[in-house]
Amino acid sequence: MRFGPTDKFWVVLDPTPGYEHGEYLLRVSLSDLAFLFEGGLTMARNPTLFTDEKEAKLEAFGRLTKMRLKQAITHQVAEGRVDGIPERLEILDGEGKLLFEADLG
């Protein structure tokens, strides 16, 4: 597949606390992406490109779920409750196929 400066694709970024939907799932062009990097986007946000909207949304959902789960675990540990904390997140479809995975440690 070929992309020119104005052709649109999907970019998924790691969400940050206090996120908004448009901050971690973006529909952009190469020109837009260049402006994002000029404006301060770094590789630390793990930008990933997608041509398929459904795949991008699934990835964004997985990353958001991971962040929320890490926040909940951090809160639980701060309160001294450490029993039963998971080390890994896996999201499966209805047939048990792995859709998203992430280490939480």
Segment 26-39, tens digit of pLDDT: 999 999 999 999 99
Q: In the prediction, which pLDDT does 105 show?
A: 65
49 in any annotated domain: yes
Strand partners, 91: 100
Task: Write out the residue range of the structural domain in which residue 18 sits.
Answer: 9-103
Q: In the prediction, which pLDDT does 10 show?
A: 97
78 in any annotated domain: yes
Buried b (16+ CB within 10 A) or exposed e, 51-75: eeeeebebbbebbbebbeeeeebee
Using an 8 Å Cβ cutoff, are 49 and 11 in contact? yes
Domain count, the chain: 1
Segment 17-73, tens digit of pLDDT: 777 666 899 999 999 999 999 999 999 999 999 999 999 999 998 898 888 888 877
Strand partners, 11: 26, 49
Q: In the prediction, which pLDDT does 89 show?
A: 77
63 in any annotated domain: yes
- Nearest residue to 59 via CA among 105, 10, 1: 10
61 in any annotated domain: yes
pLDDT band per the 50, 70, 90 thresholds, residue 76: confident
2 in any annotated domain: no
Rounded to whole angstroms, how far apart are CA atoms 58 and 68? 15
